[in-house]
Chain A
Amino acid sequence: MPPALPGDVDLTDSSAQSRSRALNQFLASVELRAFKIAQAGLRHEDDALDAVQDAMLQLARAYADRPAEEWKPLFYRILENRIRDMQRRRTVRGRVIAWLPHRGEDEDEEPDPIAQAPSPEPQPVKRLELDEAMEALEKALGELPRRQQQAFLLRTLEGMDVAETAAAMGCSQGSVKTHYFRALQALRAQLGELYL
């Protein structure tokens, strides 16, 4: 499989190989942002990775034959369903665990050295500003109702228009506008008009 480059998907060639390459490009172009969106919803890195992986698998298995322009809303629809399933299961699991005797979490686990490795980062002053802004935004996003959070992230981070966002969220365009507007209001109220 050739390395994937984010960008436009070639829709002209209908051969299976070209289709696979197009799907590879599409998934490579959305996977990082999808992970951030899943992480915002689940607040757990491994769960977010699982959710993205499941969404990729389901899209590839069930919808690879669909026109490529439908992939993005389909992918995010699947991802959102997966996030909701995981949130529900977590709730049920929490209720079961509440009945069990307390057990210390991950006491024996050593920190993963790869996970601890720093990523390429900007200059220190700019980095500090971004760190603070990022922390504040992630905290504020975490406090939004899920639908508002989803509308905001799909529109702002993924750059989807209202129609695409509505398809991904499985609701009307009017609902998307309402969720997005309320998300903006709540975030502005928490972060200020210009927080960066």
Chain B
Amino acid sequence: MSPVEESATDFERNARTVLEESVQRIDARTRSRLNQARHAALEAAVAPRRGWWHGFTLMPAAGAAAAALLVAVTLWHREPAGELPVLAAQSASVEDMDLLTDSEGLDLMEGGDGSFYEWAAAQAENGASDS
């Protein structure tokens, strides 16, 4: 008997019994998923760690993607005459880069919360038509 159990009251012992029973009743699907999670964690632990230089190997690809994005955003957001087109495109692309690099934004996308983006797009369109 552990020190915790020795000094435990009947109430604590009963609570422990009930909690342990609830653990025993965890269904097969959950047990299987926990088992998979454990193995994934162990694989991550034994996988060779990447060095700090690893990030640089991805820089050409990331740079190309960023350049393509910048060009696309510049073409998409052609402003009417009277404004400085380069500055307008730059500010738009910076905003878009913020959105793309924001991990919370990615989390929302992963969560399948597409309706938020539909709403945001509708708001932007309304704002544009109002002005």
Contacts and interface: CB of A to CB of B under 8 A. Distances in A.
Given A32-B34, A115-B27, A119-B27, A20 B42 contact: yes
Interface residues of B, number: 43
A117 B27 contact: yes
A27 B115 contact: no
A24 B42 contact: yes
B96 interface: no
Interface string B94-121: 0000000000000100010101100100
A57 B37 CA distance: 8
A70 B107 CA distance: 32
Q: Is the interface of A mostly helix, strand, loop or mixed?
A: helix
A194 B15 contact: no
Nearest to A165: B4
22 contacts: A20-B45, A31-B35, A31-B37, A32-B26, A32-B31, A36-B19, A36-B23, A49-B30, A53-B40, A61-B45, A100-B116, A119-B25, A156-B4, A156-B16, A157-B16, A157-B19, A157-B20, A159-B5, A161-B3, A193-B10, A193-B11, A195-B14
Interface of A: 1, 4, 16, 20, 23-24, 27-28, 31-33, 35-36, 45, 49, 52-53, 56-57, 59-61, 64, 89, 93, 96, 99-101, 103, 112, 114-115, 117, 119-122, 130, 133-134, 137-138, 152-153, 155-157, 159-161, 184, 187-188, 191, 193-196
